[in-house]
Amino acid sequence: MARVQEANPLEILRRRRIDATVMQVLLLVLALWWLFPLITVIRQSLQVGGFGNYAHVLSTTLNGVFLPRTFLNSFVVALLHAFFVLAAGSMAGYAFSRLRFRGRELAYYLVLVFLAVPATAVIVPVYFLTGKLGLFNSYLGVALPEAALTLPFAVLLLRNYADGIDGSFFEAASIDGAGHFRMFTSIFLPLSRPTLINLGTLCIMWSFQDFIFPSLIIKSPQLTTAAQAVQTIRSAFSPTPQQTAQFFAALVLLAVPAVVLIVIGLRWMTMGLTSGGAKE
């Protein structure tokens, strides 16, 4: 019987280098493809007036909107959004994973059904409930429906992570007399920290990008969010080359928070997505 010829180590190394080069070129092309719109907007913002356009839009009130204030508004809403999702999602994820009660799986799958509900489908009930609760023109009025739509994803993510935690941790804690609250705070929360940071980062990013609920609930220019400001300030600029460049400068500034969040949170997002993916 003929022996299988062993592969040449140099040939294997050469193929790996070729594969790595092809992958790097592909990633570079994709990066340039996605960066092209941003580069174009930055170039347009500097075409007439240079960096003075950025100073102008940062120091001028546009249709009653002060651009730095929109960043603060978005940040407050995003923090409330993340807080509600992390608090409720972590408790629900632990409960669906570690507690045993009748109808647990049915309740879990009913929660997952709401992953398919788009924001546009709940506009009418959100508007009605916001009026009943008196939450128009408030941070809380925007953060609550955002959190409600994100919560099913949080439950899915955190229950899957909890299922991947070695059960011996909880068994040892139970033998020592720890209850579910102690196991939740001393075992589940510390071990799921990367996933929680990942989820919180995603919540903040999604909140900064949300346009529907701020436009539905916030009418005061002082509470305008960054995503909402893109449409609100548009009519403040005339179609002259100078003001067109200033409008593009405003768009660049409004995109900065999302870019910064991606850069800062990328490490934690990667850890959160991959944690629990492999078991011993």
Answer whether 0.85 is exceeded by the pTM.
no
The DSSP letter of residue 48 is: T
Q: What is the tens place of the pLDDT at every residue in 87-107?
A: 999 999 999 999 988 999 999
Per-residue confidence at 209, pLDDT binned at 50, 70, 90?
Answer: confident
Among 26-35, 117-126, 250-259, 260-269, top mean pLDDT goes to 117-126
Q: Where are the alpha helices (DSSP H) in 66-188?
A: 67-98, 104-113, 123-133, 139-164, 167-175, 180-183
Residues 6+ away with beta carbon under 8 Å from 209: 227, 258
